[in-house]
Structure 1
């Protein structure tokens, strides 16, 4: 008789197959969210079919808008797989419907522009509504911490900045955080002027987008603490990355006061 040994996956191939990074899988192992069931003789991670089931559950729950801490609680309490798949399917169908609508409206707008016809107000409004229906994960995280009035205020402040808002929010802000994190992990003293300049610029950007509303700023910071990967646009950002970086920047602010 031949023994039937269970198939396992090393971290690299599993990361590639799942669209995640090795760093993310390592982090999920370290926080106990997805520890591999086995280790090779040399100590390398070896994921089993049971681990793949848990990985799917994690990814599905993230798609449904849950943070990693909540996901861990749900998995530890036990999940009905039929319910999870049903809810994931419903969310996927809703996303497909929204994307189909967006595609139709973009095609209509493209046709109008190709014919050198200016799109009407109604067409633009329908397009805006379709784009809003396909909001990215960052918007979902913000909605768990900001009410409608705060979301509108955030949008109004961003609109007031004009075209610069996109650069400030999508380019400069993440770059500042990456630079600060690089300094922190390198063991830089928070009193270093480089850290102080980054903290000061981050505070300036925060005032621009919040209009100086400290309650609004606090809500946005809470969203960053919950899911820094979604807010930064970098899915490899560990869930626990925000707290030490936030403390590092706060120390720099204290020095400059």
Structure 2
């Protein structure tokens, strides 16, 4: 006989509240596989596996929306542990590199010397960011202060940055591209919802600075190959720009609707 758990015991065992499990069921994040004749929730072992994944991704700092995308695109526990370990090891290595570069900057300042441009960029690269080509492209659209904000915000996200950049963000763009190719108008609610989530993620990296968000989009529009670090992206640059224009139309329609609601 298959073992199942009712919502109360499961909430107690997992350190969650019954209300939280009810909410996760309501939004489709974690729904019980079974119901009793009286309509009570019953969770199976498969549901417990998904619960583990939800909790693990949540501890990486992901939002419930991000977690849903990760699970729906197939994140298994073994990969989750490997990715988390890799992210921790990468963070430790980056911190060691950053420590060395900051020590060099500190020595230069202690002796009254102005740090060189190379030293400053080495410090910025040590906390993550695009490659040299992407960096040059970004600098055509962002000033030094905006670049520093972008780098610092990305570093502050820690392991969550991996999932946001490599899982959720690409999936959002894939969904938007499917809608564009299918001829869905950019004013469609589904497109506007995707744009809203993209802009939420953009805010995580920009700190809410609209100028940074606009600059990053312009850099991607100008040279997607350099920004992605993938030379093959140059072949699809026209498709990328068509999608970017499509998303900007959706963004504009949302802003127009919001202005109309306020007037």
User: Shorter chain as normaliser: what TM range?
Assistant: 0.3 to 0.5
TM-score, scaled relative to structure 2 = 0.44
- Give the TM-score, by structure 1 length: 0.45
